[in-house]
Amino acid sequence: MIIELFGPPGAGKTTFLRRLCLAMAERGVRVKTVNGYRLIEYASTLQEGPETRHGIGRIGRKIATCAPILLSTLPKDSVAGRLLASIPLRSRTWSWRMKVDIAQLCESWHKAQESEGYFVFEEGLIQAVCAMIVFARNPNIDAIRDSLTFLPRPDLLVQLDAPPETVRRRLVDRYARQPLIEVLLFELGVERALKQADISRKIGDCLYQDGWPLIKVNGGDPHNFENVIARVFGEHTKETSLAQP
């Protein structure tokens, strides 16, 4: 089973992911998490406590995985190739960055589809589309809908959102704790994140209209996460198949 989260930075994706993984572990579910540069990891590495986003190791891992992808040519008929071609970006730098991220995500999707068990994508292909629209040359709803037609569908898609003032406050606090070099390399910035929030809402509407298995979550109130997680287990998993020997 593949579960994919999406929403703007600061909407609560990591907090929800941690709660979901802990709930699954309590039910005996074997689960792995996926997030671009981290590829596939066991969710047991997620611990309670403040989110740890920075560190020189993160930068080193990102650099180590970039070169082979940047030097390669993505097949035009591949998901990554079609997605990058359908939404041209204004900046060459962001084109390179998105090429790396999307190629890694597609690799992780392939691994997840070929494997048994449960996989949670903290930031998957829908999230990549949201980021691409922020930097697109000519963003429009037709380009969004076209890109959605050839993306693989997860078993469950969870959209997290929060009020703009909540997103802004969380991002200001987050960036204040991160080294400047990491903010410049990995983060969108407050204003772009707020723009992505609007884009995420529009994409969420498209996904709902197209019949994607979508649940919307108010990330501004983490106390409601438990109700959503209970709904995930009640509607989208079979309790008899959760326990692993």
CB 40 within 8 A of CB 117: no
DSSP 8-state code for residue 186: H
pLDDT tens digits along 81-105: 888 888 888 878 778 888 888 888 8
pLDDT over 80 at 152, yes or no: yes
Q: Which of 44-53, 94-103, 111-120, 231-240 is predicted most confidently?
A: 111-120
- Closest of 6, 11, 55 to residue 34, by C-alpha: 6
> Residue 220: which residues within 8 A CB-CB, separation 6 or more?
12, 161, 162, 163, 166
Strands (E), 84-139: 118-121
**What pLDDT shows up at residue 88?**
84
Find out whether 197 and 167 touch, Cβ atoms under 8 Å: yes
Q: If you average pLDDT over residues 144-156, what whole number do you get?
A: 87
Burial zone of 146 (CB within 10 Å; 0-12 exposed, 13-18 middle, 19+ buried):
middle
Strand partners, 22: none
The Cα-based distances of 49 to 14, 145, 193 in angstroms read 11, 38, 24
CATH superfamily for 2-241 is P-loop containing nucleotide triphosphate hydrolases (3.40.50.300)
68: which 2 tokens? 């082979």
pLDDT tens for 170-186 read 888 877 776 665 555 55
The per-residue pLDDT for range 33-48, each reduced to its tens digit, is 887 555 555 554 444 4
pTM confidence score: 0.78
- Segment holding 143, helix H or strand E: helix 141-149
Mean of the per-residue pLDDT values for the chain? 76
- Domain definitions of the chain by residue range: 2-241
- The predicted-structure confidence for 45-74, as pLDDT tens digits, reads as follows 444 433 444 344 444 555 566 656 665 777
